[in-house]
Chain A
Amino acid sequence: MILLWGRSDDAPLAMLRDELLERDCLFFHIDEETARSLRFVPRASPAEGCIVMDNIVVDLADIHACYLRPDARWVELADADEIKRRQHFQYALCAWADVTPALVLNRPAAMWSNQSKPFQSLVAREAGFLTPHTLITTDPQAVRDFIEQHGRVIYKSISSVRSIVSELTLDDPRIDAVHEAPVQLQAYVEGVDHRVHVVGEQVFACRIGSAKADYRYDHSATLNEVELPAPIKDRCLRLAQLLGLSLTGIDLRRTPKGEWVCFEANPSPGYSYYQQHAGLPIVVGIAQLLQTGGSLGTTQPNSYMKMGV
């Protein structure tokens, strides 16, 4: 049986749920929004246990694959005891997801790399990708020097906190304020954005046409399916493997010189947007992977854990 964990109105989860229904797959869906009660009942080892949702009991031994996009909206619940119970349910199920032999998209421990974008870029370099020249600084003069060196510079959050990628220019009055807190700058990379979804051993890629620095905020962006060169495909698979992610959305940009620059790998990608706009059968790949299990569904630590960190 397949376990789905997330909200019904979350587009990627809803799309996967429909695909599994279409395929007549047996799945159990935990929707924290609609569940009246959720309990994790431990058993003989951390890899075992039962989920009790309302009146339904599911033995986790029957789960051979799962897809996780949990939501923490329950923190808005009024009942403090229920919040505590939900927290413990989430902790316990995440711990189970980290050690179960089932295929997990993705193991919670593997998702952590996304919390530090520059750290993830080090892993991308390990996978063979070029990454943008990056400066994290609290020095206004270093900011000015960096802008003068590269001409066009963008700034964005260091952590996974979502930020709108924007250009920074020498006349920006905020430059003098960087001495109060670190800011991450990157040399602007000219080129065409590509989004690559790695699903197990499958790679789905699309090219994005946008005039904005951050296409996610461009409603007129165009997305078209493309076939990646084999070495780039291999690097994407390698990056997913290093990060321990069986499912990931990798942001690449192809420069006019034909170089491929990696920006980040999203461990919980909103793939539905790319499926809808580029016609990529990503959900089919995910459903197939969940149905059959995959080579990354092991209990081994992520490769990047061995990078001396």
Chain B
Amino acid sequence: MVAFIGSGLDVAARQALGAWPEGSAIWIALEDITGPGWRIDPADPAGSVLRAGGKTVRVSELTGVVMTMDLVHAELLHTIVPEDRAYLAQEIEALLTVLCAMVNGPVVNAPFRAGYQRRRLAEEWAAEAARSGISCTHASQEPATGQFIVRVHPEPAAMPCDEAQAMTTSLALASGTPFLCTTWRTGPDGPCLAHTSTHPFLHDPAHARAVRQVFTPATT
């Protein structure tokens, strides 16, 4: 059973579960984590239970996790008094991190990764690109924002689609994010990695399909 974790306010993500076979996925809202019934022993997935949507599930029953948010934003904890939200957001993120580590299956994408990627500026991805062996350069800095644009070397006149796919795959492997969406920009100076997203938008059929593919071995 794959756990989809997200905000109860994210109707689109919740509806995306409808495409999954009955009993193969469960929706865990942040509101569930701030509700009763959770008993997690990090060293014992079989003895750990969580409660979501009125159901009790053993952590050992989970075959994977889909995080439908990059990180736990304090603002999403609308059932918590405002002064406690920032602290609790960090606590929940720490809990979700260990929960993802306890699950014996793919995690799309672990808060562990998202936490690192909360600074998802281009230079962060340039660092990941360097790790994955993609030659790139900080060739320019946006004057208005100070953000860097990552440029890829060598600079072919146009960015072939298969090359972009290959580089995205390398980046996904280097950054440990099974789900990674990249946007490449071509211009007079060559191709640039213009945007990255580790957050699957499940209302987008392509994203939903990609997420399904990650779990295909586990759900068939």
Interface residues in chain A, defined as those with a beta carbon under 8 Å from any beta carbon in chain B: 42-47, 49, 84-85, 88, 91-92, 94-96, 98-99, 109, 112, 115-119, 121-122, 125, 131, 133-140, 142, 157-161, 179-182, 299, 301, 305, 307-309
Contacts and interface: CB of A to CB of B under 8 A. Distances in A.
A204 B37 CA distance: 43
15 contacts: A84-B146, A88-B121, A96-B127, A109-B116, A115-B115, A118-B40, A118-B94, A121-B43, A136-B42, A157-B91, A181-B34, A181-B80, A182-B38, A308-B101, A309-B97
A301 B128 CA distance: 10
Given A46-B127, A138-B36, A299-B131, A158 B91 contact: yes
Interface residues of B, number: 53
Interface string B84-122: 100110111111011011101001001010011001010
A142 B176 contact: no
B112 A119 contact: yes
Contacts of B136: 45-46
Contacts of A43: 137-138
Contacts of B137: 42-45
Contact of A49 (B41, B138, B145, B174): B138
B33 interface: yes
A308 B131 CA distance: 18
Contacts of A140: 36
A122 B43 contact: yes
A94 B115 CA distance: 14
A136 to B, nearest CB: 4
B73 interface: no
B213 interface: no
Closest 3 CB pairs of A and B: A42-B138, A159-B94, A179-B36
A299 B36 CA distance: 43
Contacts of A92: 123, 148
Contacts of A301: 131, 174, 176
A42 B148 contact: yes
Contact of B92 (A45, A122, A142, A182): A182
